[in-house]
A and B are shown apart, each in its own frame.
Chain A
Amino acid sequence: EPEVTQTPSHQVTQMGQEVILRCVPISNHLYFYWYRQILGQKVEFLVSFYNNEISEKSEIFDDQFSVERPDGSNFTLKIRSTKLEDSAMYFCASSRDTDEKLFFGSGTQLSVL
């Protein structure tokens, strides 16, 4: 079965540093998402992306965050200047259409020290 792949699986960074989390969505999917999950809490929506632009974003997705589809296969989340509270598991997801189920990757565990 096709799957969403994310790299790296773990990322440790110093506060104030930039990080880029990478995702390869399922190849025939057109809608891409980033979610995050702080340890022990529920999964939270960050941003949705379609046709090379952001469709919707949450309050969490402030100016420190950006997304990009640099080529035909990758989808990235950049955090410009990480804060301690950005420590979380970040999940990428994709779907063929808005009325179809989201497939999630295994996540990148981001630890900000």
Chain B
Amino acid sequence: GESVGLHLPTLSVQEGDNSIINCAYSNSASDYFIWYKQESGKGPQFIIDIRSNMDKRQGQRVTVLLNKTVKHLSLQIAATQPGDSAVYFCAEGRLQGGKLIFGQGTELSVKP
């Protein structure tokens, strides 16, 4: 039968641990990738982005890794905090295109 909605992958971590959220993107022509965080009832909030001429980029407590060979993107969150609990979406696009294609999301749950 028809599914009502997607069952999001979930990741449960202990406060203080590091989290790794993975994403497979689909279009080999994509050259711009973003991670967004979405809390319940809110819009996507920018975390970090990376262009295809890089394979790693670091922000405050977050690192994004890009593997173009296997079309894989990951988000690493250091010292995860309860406030990091949310759904995390990767998105891909073209630098001159503007439009983003979102992945299905991963729900991160941080246990105190």
Task: Enumerate chain A interface residues (CB-CB to B < 8 A).
Answer: 4, 31, 33, 35, 38-45, 48, 50, 55-56, 91, 93, 95, 98-99, 101-107
Contact = CB atoms under 8 A, between A and B. Distances in A.
Contacts of B95: 98-99
Contacts of B61: none
26 contacts: A31-B98, A33-B99, A38-B5, A40-B4, A40-B6, A40-B8, A41-B5, A41-B104, A42-B89, A42-B102, A42-B105, A43-B89, A43-B102, A45-B100, A48-B99, A93-B43, A98-B94, A98-B96, A98-B98, A99-B95, A102-B46, A102-B98, A104-B36, A104-B44, A107-B41, A107-B43
Contacts, number: 67
Contacts of B6: 40-42
Given A31-B98, A42-B6, A98-B97, 18 more contacts: A39-B5, A40-B4, A41-B5, A42-B102, A42-B103, A42-B105, A43-B91, A43-B102, A44-B102, A45-B102, A48-B99, A50-B98, A55-B98, A56-B97, A56-B99, A93-B43, A98-B95, A102-B46
Interface string B29-48: 00010101000011111100
A104 B86 CA distance: 16
Contacts of A33: 98-99
Interface of B: 4-6, 8, 32, 34, 36, 41-46, 49, 89, 91, 94-105
Nearest to A109: B41
A101 to B, nearest CB: 5
B43 to A, nearest CB: 4
Contacts of A98: 94-98
